[in-house]
Amino acid sequence: MFRSLISRAAEEHLIDDGRVYCPLRKRDVEFDLCAGCPWTTSIDLKANAPVVRCRPESSPVWVVRPWL
């Protein structure tokens, strides 16, 4: 029940000149590396601005409450 409340929507990262920001590696990489990544949910090359959508496995920072 609560998992759906805190599940993270897929992040969109723009592909620019064949490169895209990778939240796993925390740097720009060639977008073809995204094809084998378990975090990738889709790669949209036909959009006006091509994007890679990914869903990191870790909890978003705003969900983690270290004081609990």
* pLDDT at 66 (0 to 100): 55
Distance of alpha carbon 13 from alpha carbon 15, whole angstroms: 7
Total domain count for the chain?
1
Q: What is the pLDDT of residues 16-46, one digit of tens each?
A: 999 999 988 889 999 889 988 889 999 999 9
At residue 58, the pLDDT reads 61
For residue 35, the enclosing domain spans 2-54
Mean pLDDT of the residues in the chain: 79
In a domain, 64, yes or no: no
| pTM more than 0.85 | no
Q: How far is CA 46 from the centre of its chain?
A: 18
CA atoms within 13 A on the CB side of 60: 11
Give exposure, 40-66, as e/b (b: 16+ Cβ within 10 Å).
Answer: beebeeeeeebbbbbeeeeeeeeeeee
- Does residue 60 sit within a domain? no
Residue 13 banded pLDDT, cuts 50, 70, 90: very high
